[in-house]
Amino acid sequence: MPLLLSPYHSSFSVVSNSTPRLLSWILWTSWLHIAWLHFRSSQKQARLLEREREREMKGTYGMLIVIFMFQIHQAAVCGTQLHNVSKFVQKVPVASAGRKYDFIYLVQQWQISLCNIKSCLKPARPAFSIHGLWPSTYSTKTPSNCTATVSKFAPQKISDLKDRLDMEWPSLLQESNYELWKEEWESHGSCSQAMLPQHAFFETALRLKEKYKLQEMLAEKDIYPFGNLYRLDGIIDAIATATGHKPQIQCSLYKQVPLLSNVFLCFDYNATNIIDCPVKKRCRYDEIMIPYYMFGSRRN
């Protein structure tokens, strides 16, 4: 008996036979689309990474340039410092190896301030007088009594300087000026006697005081001992302008009024050239007075 097929049988067979191909084509195109999207995403990420690397490299190059320029600057500074040190060493005589000091202070005191604060045995003048010539170091406190073999103070060695010393280096707290000179020589002159023997020590102090007239320097900036308060930095600037180098200023308090007591000028080891004093704060007040007269009652 012949097989009878419905009108839809043939069509159903065709559809049934083509379904796997259609599904395969759909899957294949979907995979290609996904692969394409993945490829595009990978390219985009690669471009982002490349840009990030470029930014990092630019930053690294910039930092390297900064470091390189800094190293060049440091090398230049160090070279200058070494050159300056070399020049300094060349200038120092061989005999200086045994020195116990680096530079010398010329200390001048304002007499009226001293005698307002302490009980003076002699009348004070409104003037600066020598307090001392002190060999000093940059690393430690001012040396004193440097050697047991210091030559004893001999007044006859400075007899030709006596009149000038009486005027410019008087002892206001002792009866005899010789007592002060002996003390200064044995305490401070002992540290520089190889460079400045006794006569040269006292003559140098007189010469430097005569050359660097503090009252004239201050007057150039309208600073006078009239009992007014002056700014400390103004006094420092007045002296620095005149000498070309920074001094140190010391003050003392009298009845809540800060008085200028000592001015320190600094010189090289043989007291030939004036130099900047080390940074050292000897006065903690912003304004100080240079008194012209005694205030009356004094304290010890």
Instruction: Indicate which residue of 73, 184, 186, 210 is catalytic.
Output: 184
User: Is 54 a known active-site residue?
Assistant: no
Helical H runs in 124-197?
162-168, 177-184, 190-192
DSSP conformation class of 11? H
User: Is 199 a known active-site residue?
Assistant: no
| Inter-residue contact 250 to 108 (CB < 8 Å) | no
User: Is 83 a known active-site residue?
Assistant: no
Instruction: Fill in the amino acid letter for 279.
Output: V
Q: Give the count of alpha carbons within 13 A of 275, CB side only.
A: 16
Instruction: Indicate which residue of 131, 199, 216, 220 is catalytic.
Output: 131
> Which residues does residue 229 pair with via DSSP β-bridges, in sequence order?
289
Instruction: Indicate which residue of 188, 199, 220, 287 is catalytic.
Output: 188
- Exposed/middle/buried for residue 118 (C-beta within 10 Å: 0-12, 13-18, 19+): middle
| Inter-residue contact 274 to 266 (CB < 8 Å) | yes
Catalytic amino acids?
Answer: 131, 184, 188
